[in-house]
Copies of this chain bind each other. A is one copy, B any other.
């Protein structure tokens, strides 16, 4: 039963919406100081979560995401600092004009409203999402995973205490949905009139659940079946560097590459170098022509496998790369538009026409020429703080900065005008 919380958040958002940057930044500083002051309690709560997760047999990679340390708490506070440094996104006049009858119309940014963030076991998201929403004048309902419940309780308790201490703070603008039950997610997703946007951040299962059940506006983030197309004119050495970076710099990221598409006239030059670079590190799942381009001597044991149809459709998030040979640029584009998730797609080429055609025809949030797909990121784009990477077209697309939490309002100033026609 979250309804009482919905009412409180909505009320608090109305108050927060009227605050100026000084007030919001002062409150964020107070929240940051409270996290610092409650450091010991936060780490103790996190230790409870980690112990419980380990006993329940959670994978070590997930335990790592769940775990806090002194350094990570420092990182969380630096995240708040970065958000304090952001310009206030509210009250900006994005356009203004006079109409023929003398009305003055302004288009002004306002907070989107109450934001629900539904996420998995990374406690840093708790603070990040709160601080971004608060700066945008939005109240926020945090729904983390049950595995991080104690950590999130300690963090939200510290934040609310900090907001309550400073005069302008609005502690009720942040709440934790803490029952740990799945039903709670559905209740959030159906709260029309209370939740202005829900941001699911998580795996395919969560996204599917959201797609089925949401009655509130949603920004979907996450899934990235990304491609790099190596055109016949590409600089092959550089192509190997870029594919390596996009694959292994952080294989679990949504902007990591999953399939390399290789022009038939580049495959003989590329594959030996790629197989050598990836030997013992990355499993290659190749089509016939790509496999045949790798000399037997360079085939690491188990390193080269045959690709199946399923591989084109899979976001491995692992040290696995599918490789497909294509006859033409257009075949690469068609493959991407069929199997891609409209996230990040790259062409490596020295031909202007090929670059243009690829960028225009590939349907994705981010299209790259001669760079790694790993740059799809709010920080790399210079947004200062990131809310996630939207894989939809509606409202926000690609890396989302704080602007994604704003809406607009028209202000029309007249001197007695009435409409005639």
Contact = CB atoms under 8 A, between A and B. Distances in A.
A395 interface: yes
A361 interface: yes
Given A372-B418, A415-B370, A397 B407 contact: yes
A51 interface: no
Interface stretch (A301-309, A319-327, A375-383): A375-383
A411 B367 contact: yes
Interface string A104-132: 01000010110000000000000000000
Contacts of A209: none
Contacts of A99: 375, 380-382
Contacts of A4: none
Contacts of A235: 416
A392 interface: yes
Interface in A325-347: 337
A33 interface: no
Nearest to A417: B371
Contacts of A281: none
A329 to B, nearest CB: 14
Interface string A400-421: 0000000111111111111100
A interface, size bucket:
35 or more
A409 B238 CA distance: 25
Contact of A375 (B368, B407, B417): B417
A351 to B, nearest CB: 14
Given A411-B367, A412-B369, A416-B241, A394 B196 contact: yes
A360 interface: yes
Contacts of A17: 363
B410 A367 contact: yes
A105 B377 CA distance: 12
A215 interface: yes
Contacts of A212: 215
Contacts of A410: 365-367, 376, 381, 397-399
A103 interface: yes
Contact of A414 (B364, B369, B381): B369
Contact of A412 (B211, B367, B397): B367
Interface in A61-107: 97, 99, 103, 105
A370 B416 contact: yes
B211 A393 contact: no
A245 B419 CA distance: 7
B215 A192 contact: no
Interface centre among A14, A99, A417 (most CB of B within 10 A): A417
Contacts of A368: 412-414
Nearest to A108: B359
A409 B365 contact: yes
Contacts of A415: 370-371
Given A110-B363, A113-B393, 11 more contacts: A99-B382, A197-B394, A242-B418, A367-B409, A370-B415, A370-B416, A370-B417, A371-B412, A371-B415, A375-B412, A397-B408
Question: Which 6 pairs between the two chains have the least Cβ-Cβ distance?
Answer: A371-B414, A245-B418, A393-B407, A374-B419, A217-B394, A395-B395
